[in-house]
Amino acid sequence: MTGSQCSRIAQLVSTCGVQLLHRHNGGRCSFVTRKFSTTSSQQSERSSPLEGIRILDLTRVLAGPYCSMLFADLGAEVIKVERPGAGDDTRSWGPPFKGTESAYFLSVNRNKKSIAVDLKKQKGVEIVQQLAGSCDVLIENYLPGKLGEMGLGYDEMKALVPQLIYCSITGYGQTGPYRSRAGYDVIAAGVGGLMNITGPRDGDPCKVGVAMTDLSTGLYAFGAIVVALLHRQLTGRGQHIDCNLLSTQVASLVNIASNYLNAGMEAKRYGTAHESIVPYQAFKTKDGGYMLVGAGNDKQFQLMCQRMELPELLEDERFQDNKVRVANRDILLPLLGHRFETKTTSQWMQVLEGSGIPYGPINNIQQVFSDPQVVHNGMIQEVQHPTAGTIRLPGPAVRYSESQTVVPRPPPTLGQHTQEVLQGILGYSDRQLKHLIETGVVQ
């Protein structure tokens, strides 16, 4: 049966209130059905939106694992392939550790299954090829060409599994002069301009406190894969997705890029301040904390001056609109800074409450997770890990009115699901599994 024929069947079945998920394995077609909930009683038993989707995850460290965790949170079955004996690099990235597991690894691998397979052995490669035949998506973050040498590149996998969506996450892309360079967040942030605009106004460039280029690439990859799944549902065809850290970072320069491309304006470092809006930054307060405030328009600036009891600024022609405030930032900001140092952070919170002005403190991490809005948003998940005991993790950022994320499951131990996956999905016998373990192909 051709891909277009399978797609047509899926479209016809969908008119009956059933979603048909098509998979192709070794020349054989198979389907998984899922009924749509239409009545109120059915909607009260909402399923996770990506239930029935299976992801083969060949990624390590952050960008790829973050992407696959987003799928796992939404109900997709994510099978994480790791190296026997070592696993994902981040398993050893500590301290801190929780039991024997690094806190870093725990942060981006919940709700997944782990299998330990040696891809340096031909039988290990064959296992991954077989698994791909029962999966909808393969995600990898090897150097371009590396998996192709093993027989696991996109061209090889497309020949075996035409419907497979194959997402590559690299530092610089599949082609070009930098294609063979290792991809690391801080390097891509430097090459892509982020570090040059981050840091004190008269100081050195700084890295962002978390790997935002990695995380943003994971988000781009997540969105791209969802688009490819929708495209396959219409056409029956898989495709290759090329995501890379550098392109993500350049695309994320947004207004800074536009300033340069359209006005020739080279960017500068402004600390917590904004290049095009004044005031919009942090000010030190009486108790040594910091208060962030912004005036996105002239009305907000007027309200801020009223709340802060600075009527003289309202009459000063140097501060009448944002354009002149930007030009006179070196005059205005010290005046505001002096006023902020007369009250504590909590006192300023009370002064600005209900004003409509954007404001807030700079919290440390303890303050973040005790913040009443963070607690209200359910941003702390608690799960039981098989070796580490009770662990706590930041929860998913998005809520849905008609769908739900899965009940959180702990990040897996290395090879925890090898037997389950090989026997439950590929149908390996006890004898075959034992031989694979004895020969070091799997763990």
* pLDDT, tens only, 244-293: 999 999 999 999 999 999 999 999 999 999 999 999 999 999 999 999 99
214: annotated active-site residue: yes
Q: Checking phi first, is residue 145 left (phi over 0); if not, alpha (psi -120 to 50) or beta?
A: left
Asked if 86 and 168 touch (Cβ cutoff 8 Å), the reply is no
How many whole angstroms separate alpha carbon 96 and alpha carbon 115?
Answer: 24
Q: Say if residues 301 and 321 touch (Cβ distance below 8 Å).
A: no
Residue 401 near residue 412 (C-beta atoms within 8 A) = no
Contacts of 113 (CB under 8 A, 6+ apart): 77, 78, 79, 80, 412, 416, 417, 420, 421
What are the chain's domains? 3-252+380-438 (3.40.50.10540), 280-362 (3.30.1540.10)
**Structure confidence at residue 43 (pLDDT):** 38
pLDDT band of residue 48 (cuts 50, 70, 90) is confident
248 and 218 Cβ atoms separated by less than 8 Å: no
Q: Give the tens place of pLDDT for each residue, 154-201.
A: 999 999 999 999 999 999 999 999 999 999 999 999 999 999 999 999
Strand partners, 391: 383
pTM value is 0.88
Instruction: Assign 14 a pLDDT band (cuts: 50, 70, 90).
Output: very low
Q: What is the pLDDT of residue 228?
A: 98
Check residues 2 and 144 and name the one with the higher pLDDT. 144
**Which residue in 136, 185, 214, 298 is the catalytic one?**
214
Q: What is the predicted pLDDT for the residue at 46?
A: 53
Per 3-state DSSP, what percentage of the chain is helix, strand, and coil (rounded to 5)? 40, 20, 40
**138 - beta bridge partners?**
56, 166
Whether the pLDDT of residue 45 is over 90: the answer is no
- Number of residues in the chain: 443
pLDDT at residue number 29: 54
How much of the chain, in percent, has pLDDT values that exceed 70?
90
| Amino acid identity at 355 | S
pLDDT of the residue at 230: 97
Q: How many angstroms from the chain centroid is the CA of residue 390?
A: 24
3-state secondary structure of 366: helix
